[in-house]
Amino acid sequence: RMAALLDLVMDQVQEIQGSARKRGRATRPQWPMIVLRSPKGWTGPREVDGLPVEGTWRAHQVPVDNMTNPEHLRILEQWLRSYHAEELFDDKGALVAELAALPPKGQRRMSANPHANGGELLQALRLPDFREYAVKADKPGTTFDEATKVLGAFLRDVIAKNPRNFRLMGPDETASNRLSAVFDVTDRDWLAEMLPTDDHLAPDGRVMEVLSEHLCQGWLEGYLLTGRHGMFNCYEAFTHIVDAMFNQHAKWLEVTNRLPWRRPIASFNYLLSSHVWRQDHNGFTHQDPGFIDVVMNKKAEVVRVYLAPDTNCLLSIADHCLRSRQYVNVIVAGKQRSLNYLSMEDAIVHCTRGIGIWDWASNDTGEPDVVMACAGDIPTLEALAATDLIRQHLPDLKVRVVNVVDLMTLQPQTEHPHGLSDAEFDALFTTSRPVIFAYHGYPWLIHRLCYRRRNHANMHVRGYKEEGTTTTPFDMVMLNDLDRFHLVMDVIDRVPGLGSRAGHVRQRMMDERLRHRQYTRDHGEDEPDVRDWTWPY
Amino acid sequence: RMAALLDLVMDQVQEIQGSARKRGRATRPQWPMIVLRSPKGWTGPREVDGLPVEGTWRAHQVPVDNMTNPEHLRILEQWLRSYHAEELFDDKGALVAELAALPPKGQRRMSANPHANGGELLQALRLPDFREYAVKADKPGTTFDEATKVLGAFLRDVIAKNPRNFRLMGPDETASNRLSAVFDVTDRDWLAEMLPTDDHLAPDGRVMEVLSEHLCQGWLEGYLLTGRHGMFNCYEAFTHIVDAMFNQHAKWLEVTNRLPWRRPIASFNYLLSSHVWRQDHNGFTHQDPGFIDVVMNKKAEVVRVYLAPDTNCLLSIADHCLRSRQYVNVIVAGKQRSLNYLSMEDAIVHCTRGIGIWDWASNDTGEPDVVMACAGDIPTLEALAATDLIRQHLPDLKVRVVNVVDLMTLQPQTEHPHGLSDAEFDALFTTSRPVIFAYHGYPWLIHRLCYRRRNHANMHVRGYKEEGTTTTPFDMVMLNDLDRFHLVMDVIDRVPGLGSRAGHVRQRMMDERLRHRQYTRDHGEDEPDVRDWTWPY
């Protein structure tokens, strides 16, 4: 009866698909569904110690335990004998030939079916050359772009070139995260009723939007596991909604890495935008950069985290992630108008290294007095603006600027394949100079990554410390002491011998903070000197 | 019309409640529900630039922007004028008296209503004396109990004494987490159909079970916010499901701390049991101690994390948490049979301090050669068993055992109100001796908390490093190098001068690991010498 029902259902599925293909247009089908109700613990012991087991909640536990009780042992024996092992196996314990012939062979086996071992079906994406989307950045820190908007153009062409095996998932934020260019070539997938005012809905859209991060995550997992590619774009703070699902996917990747018959699948790519530093309208509830911390708890071999300082870097990172296999890639990138620092050529080198000194921003000629480190678009902006202030007010100070794209480089080589050797790390961060580190997320993560490094005791990290509200971008960094003025104060406090000599400068920085704060209260926006700051050298 | 409908609905609600009270028994009611459909952006601009706005998705964005466009300015003016400010305010800009008289006064105001400011309604729990549930532990580490089972008896009496303002939430794990004693005095709340085989269901049960961590979290939040008390018991790994909801509740607590009119509410108490180290049947998917890491990202003023080393400590912690206000308390405790270390008297002192030297387990008489630190029931067991091995094989070595109950003590005083001063920390952990720290969760959390401490460079932390599977308890700690034998090897590797002298002992420890691993493979369980180990001194 079950076999006949399965045949019927398969026929119905084929009919729905066939008719949609004939019409060249899908509608919302009523897929057949088989509901099989069976008693819980079916064919197990019916009753133990006078209490019903089969068909009750007790079957969810160990149905019969304590084998020193002869009655229990009898029940167990009766239960096991009910399977009639003597009919299933021959004298030598082998499955009888008649039964061994039953299961399907080769790829028809459930585990060998390519749809269950999606890597077998995986086709590399046809990727457009990401260099062609490069924005101009001839003079660092002087032109502005919206990183995710440019990425949108790249993703548009990824979709156009791969119309059958790439999807973009997200909770109704594709436009809000500025990826709207994709709608030039595709639509949001939609099979239900449409209204005249609806925008870019179609039954064959490659964008899947639903205001449920859980569904987005589940859809993309299923899509990847069956051999396709995709990206999940999400508000940074709300990615925590799928923490538990991410955990299971990462564990799955980790375990399958050890199974030789499992073919690699495409990486799970998260694009976290609308991040903690730019929630001018949404405020405190939308400020949480902690998904990175959850990700970093999983095995080094399966997780990667990239913080894009600017647009060209984001393009290079995205291209890399879309080519990778068996990882969870987390990309953090802003959507707002922000400065370009690197030409595409420089961005490729920088992102491939994952970390590097920015010569053009540094004025040290060997050993610096202080290292300004930064990771993430807003911290990079503030670190560079602080460097500018230092050059103006403390021109003797030798400052080295180090930017981190790939967080994993900070870990020891023994902990992560991307980890720098101690010699490499020391060459960048020195072994004895103060390091002021402006970081996108919770500052202690940097300590957790760097605590074994030689210069760790000199590292001072600024980041999000859970201070937030609905306010201007610059007020947000001030609330968390990540602003340019505070970074200069941190430098003054930590470079030996600078303290009293730079007393006037330090006080001026404090005054600047107060003045800028007052301006936000008076005008509801940031002062133009901050908003329109560019790299002046 | 809306007012009349509200009257009708309130009458229906009262009728349902009244009839249930008259019958003395609730059934599953069909609560009335008002569905109000209004156009999105109702009363806003109907059309901008020829595109419909009111009633469409465009009203979710800024409905009309770019005010340099005179037509847009006209639309904005028209929109604002439609509110007829001239009828609402007098010449001086004050609300006209007729309107000012409309809103309700005093507690009838929405924000001042005690049901919205639950602290106003909060009654302290009538708590039984937790000392009366103490288990015997006259000789440390020689008797066994199941910590959460004993806690269940305490919670049973909490429920009995507070039948109207305490609830226990959980995803069908009350029994699995060994809290079944509560069913002596109450049932699972249930208003739907009941079957003859159902167990402890009733329409007025104080236990709320549903296999949705989201619902449990939401229920308890609502219950606390309206002035009541409760606890959410959950499998440790699956608490991540509510990460995002925890975040919002913690942010809410933090913000309301700054509002003087907001009265404190009862703390949100998580009991994480069935933890990472005891998932013998469930395996890798059920192993994740990272909820603690998520919690620690929130403001120090609202979060507390307690790791119960044994039963009496758990009782003391639970009593403390149930009395506290405006916190999120995370209690981690095992449910399996495990050793008792402290008498109730000692447990109270130890838990109140939050951290301490266990004199009875230490053999240092001043400066130790090594500090064995531990946090969590299983790490404490392994650290003590390692201490025993050291006493046997390296009797000259002076070992100090430090147990941590309250993780926040490790942080600097400036970061958390529970943080130890540097002097206190140094007195416990020394400033120069190796510290081998056996920790319940991801090891880097301990580094993140301690990185500013003087002896941090000598701290070596073992914990869960994402190695897991379905296996025996001791194999699990071996997989993660947290086992007693590996801890002894860590001591040998880190105590200066011990390395070559203790070569034989080190090799024996390696051999013991191999022997125990083989035993688990041969017998499917742990060797009795590990399973039944007790503190022998």
The complex scores an ipTM of 0.94
**What pLDDT is recorded for position A337?**
94
For residue A167, tell me if it sits in a domain.
Answer: yes
Between β-strands B328-332 and B303-307, what pairing exists: parallel, antiparallel or unpaired? parallel
Beta carbons of A288 and B317 less than 8 angstroms apart: no
Contact A444 B448 (CB under 8 A): yes
Chain A residues with CB inside 8 Å of B284's CB? 251, 255
Answer yes or no: do B452 and B518 share one domain. yes
* Residue B318 half-sphere exposure toward CB, CA atoms < 13 A: 33
Q: What is the mean pLDDT of chain A?
A: 95
For residue B146, what are the β-bridge partners?
Answer: B337
Q: What is the DSSP letter of A384?
A: H
The rounded distance, in Å, linking the Cα atoms of B448 and B297 is: 11
Q: Between A and B, how many CB-CB pairs are < 8 A?
A: 86
**What pLDDT is recorded for position B365?**
84
Please give the average per-residue pLDDT across B473-480, as a whole number. 97
Contact B297 A442 (CB under 8 A): yes
Answer yes or no: do A153 and A262 share one domain. yes
Burial A318-328 (b: 16+ CB within 10 A, else e): bbbbbeeebbb
Q: Of A285, A268, A279, A185, whose CA–CA distance to A233 is shortest?
A: A268
Where are the strands (E) in A236-339, listed by range?
268-273, 303-307, 328-332, 337-339
Question: Percentage of residues in chain B with pLDDT exceeding 70?
Answer: 100
The rounded distance, in Å, linking the Cα atoms of B518 and B514 is: 6
Among the partner-chain residues B198, B288, B293, the one whose CB lies closest to the CB of A293 is B293
**What pLDDT is recorded for position A365?**
84
Among the partner-chain residues B255, B290, B447, the one whose CB lies closest to the CB of A297 is B290
Examine the pLDDT at B25 and tell me if it is beyond 80.
Answer: no
**A20: pLDDT confidence band, cut at 50, 70 and 90?**
confident
Among the partner-chain residues A240, A299, A451, the one whose CB lies closest to the CB of B447 is A451
Contact A294 B298 (CB under 8 A): no
The rounded distance, in Å, linking the Cα atoms of A156 and A186 is: 8
**What pLDDT is recorded for position A336?**
93
* Domain CATH code at residue B456: 3.40.50.920
Over residues B226-244, the pLDDT tens digits come to 999 999 999 999 999 999 9
Contact B197 A451 (CB under 8 A): no
A307, A339, A371 - which closes a domain: A339
**B356: pLDDT confidence band, cut at 50, 70 and 90?**
very high
Beta carbons of B127 and B319 less than 8 angstroms apart: yes
Q: CB atoms < 10 A from the CB of A266, how many?
A: 28
Return the SS3 of B170.
strand
Chain B residues with CB inside 8 Å of A448's CB? 444-445, 447-448
The rounded distance, in Å, linking the Cα atoms of A337 and A148 is: 10
Please give the average per-residue pLDDT across A88-105, as a whole number. 93
Q: Of B428, B415, B310, whose CA–CA distance to B359 is shortest?
A: B428
Chain A residues with CB inside 8 Å of B299's CB? 466
For residue B478, tell me if it sits in a domain.
Answer: yes
Helices and strands (DSSP H and E) totals, chain A: 17, 17
Token couple for B290:
């990272």
Q: Of A454, B390, A448, whose CA–CA distance to A463 is shortest?
A: A448
Beta carbons of A411 and A419 less than 8 angstroms apart: yes
Chain B residues with CB inside 8 Å of A197's CB? 52, 55-58
**B209: pLDDT confidence band, cut at 50, 70 and 90?**
very high
**B110: pLDDT confidence band, cut at 50, 70 and 90?**
confident
For residue B8, tell me if it sits in a domain.
Answer: no
Examine the pLDDT at A285 and tell me if it is beyond 80.
Answer: yes
Answer yes or no: do B305 and B376 share one domain. no
Chain A residues with CB inside 8 Å of B442's CB? 297
Answer yes or no: do A379 and A322 share one domain. no
Return the SS3 of B424.
helix
Contact B244 A248 (CB under 8 A): no
Answer yes or no: do A369 and A246 share one domain. no
Answer yes or no: do B286 and B433 share one domain. no
Please tell me which residue of chain B has the smallest CA distance to A59. Answer: B197
Beta carbons of A51 and A58 less than 8 angstroms apart: yes
**What pLDDT is recorded for position B536?**
96
For residue B470, tell me if it sits in a domain.
Answer: yes
* Domain CATH code at residue B332: 3.40.50.970
The rounded distance, in Å, linking the Cα atoms of B431 and B411 is: 16
For residue B10, tell me if it sits in a domain.
Answer: no
- Best probe of the A interface among B212, B294, B440, B470, by most A CBs < 10 A, is B294
Please give the average per-residue pLDDT across A194-210, as a whole number. 92
Answer yes or no: do B317 and B364 share one domain. no
Q: Kindly report each contact of residues A31-34 with a partner whose C-beta sits within 8 Å and lies 24 or more positions away, as own/partner.
A: A32/A8, A34/A5, A34/A6, A34/A9
Where are the strands (E) in B157-276, listed by range?
166-170, 188-189, 201-202, 207-209, 229-235, 268-273
A339, A369, A398 - which closes a domain: A339
Beta carbons of B277 and B301 less than 8 angstroms apart: no
Residue B319 C-alpha, separation from nearest chain A C-alpha, in angstroms: 29
Answer yes or no: do B323 and B367 share one domain. no
Answer yes or no: do A280 and A391 share one domain. no
Chain A residues with CB inside 8 Å of B199's CB? 57
Answer yes or no: do A201 and A276 share one domain. yes
Non-local (6+) Cβ contacts of A476 within 8 A are A276, A277, A278, A279, A287, A468
| Chain centroid, CA B143 distance in Å | 28
For residue A236, tell me if it sits in a domain.
Answer: yes
Q: Of B425, B520, B532, whose CA–CA distance to B479 is shortest?
A: B520
Number of domains in chain B: 2
A25, A59, A93 - which closes a domain: A59
**What pLDDT is recorded for position A499?**
77
**A176: pLDDT confidence band, cut at 50, 70 and 90?**
confident
The rounded distance, in Å, linking the Cα atoms of B28 and B35 is: 21
Residue B516 C-alpha, separation from nearest chain A C-alpha, in angstroms: 24
**What pLDDT is recorded for position B507?**
97
Angle, CA of A71, A73 and A79, to the nearest 5°? 105
Please give the average per-residue pLDDT across A33-59, as a whole number. 93
The rounded distance, in Å, linking the Cα atoms of B115 and B224 is: 10
Among the partner-chain residues A52, A198, A456, the one whose CB lies closest to the CB of B197 is A52
Answer yes or no: do B460 and B494 share one domain. yes
Non-local (6+) Cβ contacts of A324 within 8 A are A266, A267, A304
Token couple for B183:
């069913």
Answer yes or no: do B325 and B381 share one domain. no
For residue A235, tell me if it sits in a domain.
Answer: yes
Q: Is the dihedral of CA A352, A356, A362, A366 positive or negative?
A: negative
Chain B residues with CB inside 8 Å of A52's CB? 197
**What pLDDT is recorded for position B267?**
98
For residue B170, what are the β-bridge partners?
Answer: B209
Contact B56 A197 (CB under 8 A): yes
Helices and strands (DSSP H and E) totals, chain B: 17, 17
Between β-strands A459-462 and A435-439, what pairing exists: parallel, antiparallel or unpaired? parallel
Contact A284 B251 (CB under 8 A): yes
Contact B297 A293 (CB under 8 A): yes
Angle, CA of B354, B356 and B359, to the nearest 5°? 150
* Residue A53 half-sphere exposure toward CB, CA atoms < 13 A: 20
SS3 content of chain A, % helix, strand, coil (to 5): 40, 15, 45
| Chain centroid, CA A149 distance in Å | 18
Token couple for A466:
């859970």
Q: What is the DSSP letter of B513?
A: H
Domain of A253 in residue numbering reads as 129-339
Please tell me which residue of chain A has the smallest CA distance to B200. Answer: A57
Among the partner-chain residues A197, A240, A448, the one whose CB lies closest to the CB of B244 is A240
**What pLDDT is recorded for position A430?**
97
Beta carbons of A64 and A76 less than 8 angstroms apart: yes
Please give the average per-residue pLDDT across B68-94, as a whole number. 95
Residues of B with CB under 8 A from a CB of A: 52, 55-58, 197-199, 237-238, 240-241, 243-244, 247-248, 251, 254-255, 284-285, 288, 290, 293-294, 297-299, 442, 444-445, 447-448, 451, 456, 466
Chain B residues with CB inside 8 Å of A303's CB? none
For residue A64, tell me if it sits in a domain.
Answer: no
Q: Of B336, B210, B347, whose CA–CA distance to B276 is shortest?
A: B336
**What pLDDT is recorded for position B61?**
80
